[in-house]
Chains A and B, each alone.
Chain A
Amino acid sequence: MNDTNSVVSIKDVKKAFGKNVVLDGINLEVSRGQVVVICGRSGSGKSTLLRCIDQLESIDSGEIRAAGHLMGFKEFNTKLVPLKDAAIAKQQRDIGMVFQNFNLFPHVSVLENIMLAPMKILKRKKSEVENEALALLERVGLPDKKNAYPRQLSGGQQQRIAIARALAMKPKLMLFDEPTSALDPEMISEVLDVMIDLSKAGMTMIVVTHEMGFARAAADRVILMHDAKIVEDAAPRDFFEKPRSEHTRLFLSKILQH
């Protein structure tokens, strides 16, 4: 990466599921500390883009650099060689991901959810990891839930724990895939507040969401995806007030009707 400030650099990425083209030549640069919000109608490829950045899906062509890694490949004599599972796992440690359905580990307690990866994967000392985990619980406002199991928590609480779990690996980049769309309305703000704090602390974030309030409050850029392409990429103000793409105008009019 030439630009040391660049945390994500995506060049001409293509991805199809069978004949269904889901990412059609995506280019995207995100620099350190930026918060980028992605929106777009269902099926436009938002989740797939995030999953490709974190290598939960592989790409067909193009390249993705994220958190200092050429994701899924290594360079060998100017050729790109696909990486094996274990090497991809190492790259993934530097990227945190938060899912719509939280996906906490249901068989262990909240504290163990946060400590599992740093302890078992990074093989760090338990006392040290535990102190950090407790600090993270404090940060997401749930210090008294450390011994609870995920099933005992509300959706909003589970999502805040999921954020803490991702942060425990000290990622350089956080990806959020509709973190609030599975939540009851009264719980949405507790999760967004944590995310806004995180952005203020300087975390680089890509957030797929339709919470336009969050986009206005925390985003540096708002992107609209339409039919596997990025059709708008603008500062929030411009995105909402003078969108260039017809698709954005249509999208905004639909959102505002709700």
Chain B
Amino acid sequence: MSWSWPYFFDYMNNGLMLRGVWVTIWLSIISMTIGLGLGIFAALMKMYGNPAVRFISEFYIWLFRGTPILIQLVIIYTGLPQLGIRFNVIESCILGLALNEGAYLAEIIRSGIMSVDKGQEDASRAVGMNWRERMWLVILPQATRTIIPPLGNQFNGMLKTTSLCSVISMQELMRSAQMIAQIEFRVLEAYCIAALWYLLLVSIWGLIQTRIEAHYEKPFGSQEAVSNSEK
């Protein structure tokens, strides 16, 4: 069996494949969003919590960064039912991806917060802001500038990591390709299409990321860059 262009083009707009693409997109976005929330929470716990709180956060980060995401997914979906804790496929994927992502983002967010000048804390206290106001109005918005580039790279990774969910039968892009490959055993064509889709998604994200970075960089840009963009 040699390479077949007709199959290749046929798979390109195959309904199953397109559904897989869509699932990969929303699964990535939802997991990333929840992971970001977890990451901010864990970072703040680790930086400002009392020793017990700090321990919980550090344990979480250590556990989820120290084990393969594949094992985490399999334990959540097929292992936990043994203890009577059941999640369906979609829940398991979101939970596993978000928990894993949160652990990585926590460290990124922590270093972002640490990159903010110490004087900002003084200045925000001096105008009468309490801890929450200092965090949300002054520190985190400035940490964003440092956080955004690695965060973008994490999302790039997330788009591809979702493919591991195929192992617990989530019908995302990878799983779609597997299923299509099995129909006529056009394995190479099916996986090449899937690979192309990942490339496309990641490239589109790259363009979006550039724009987001430019937005957060604007107040810090060179004098000319800022005044030009204001015209």
Pair A92/B226 contact, Cβ less than 8 Å: no
A99 contacts the other chain (CB 8 A) = yes
Chain B residues with Cβ below 8 Å from A97 are 122-123, 126
B131 contacts the other chain (CB 8 A) = yes
Contact residues, A97-143 vs B (CB, 8 A): 97, 99, 101, 103-109, 116-117, 120-121
Pair A151/B219 contact, Cβ less than 8 Å: yes
Interface residues on B, range: 20 to 34
Chain A residues with Cβ below 8 Å from B218 are 149
Closest CB pairs A-B (n = 3): A93-B128, A103-B123, A103-B119
Identify which of A89, A151, A166 contacts B125 (C-beta below 8 A): A89
Pair B133/A89 contact, Cβ less than 8 Å: yes
Identify which of B119, B128, B129 contacts A99 (C-beta below 8 A): B119
Chain A residues with Cβ below 8 Å from B144 are 107
Contacts A56-B125, A89-B129, A151-B221 given; 7 further ones with Cβ under 8 A? A85-B131, A92-B126, A93-B127, A106-B219, A107-B141, A107-B219, A149-B226
0/1 string, A136-161, CB within 8 A of B gives 1: 00000000000101111000000000
Binding site for B on A (CB under 8 A): 51, 54-56, 85-86, 89-97, 99, 101, 103-109, 116-117, 120-121, 147, 149-152, 162, 165-166, 169
**Complex formed: what's the CA distance from A146 to B90 in Å?**
49
**Complex formed: what's the CA distance from A56 to B133 in Å?**
16
B89 contacts the other chain (CB 8 A) = no
Smallest CB separation, A214 vs chain B (Å): 21
Binding site for A on B (CB under 8 A): 117, 119-120, 122-131, 133, 137-138, 141-142, 144-145, 218-221, 223, 226-227, 230
**Complex formed: what's the CA distance from A162 to B226 in Å?**
21
Pair B117/A120 contact, Cβ less than 8 Å: no
Given contacts A147-B230, A152-B223, A152-B226, contact A56 B122 (CB under 8 A): yes
**Complex formed: what's the CA distance from A56 to B125 in Å?**
7
Pair A149/B128 contact, Cβ less than 8 Å: no
Pair B138/A105 contact, Cβ less than 8 Å: yes
Identify which of A92, A93, A95, A103 contacts B120 (C-beta below 8 A): A103
Chain A residues with Cβ below 8 Å from B124 are 105
**Complex formed: what's the CA distance from A147 to B126 in Å?**
23
Pair A99/B122 contact, Cβ less than 8 Å: yes
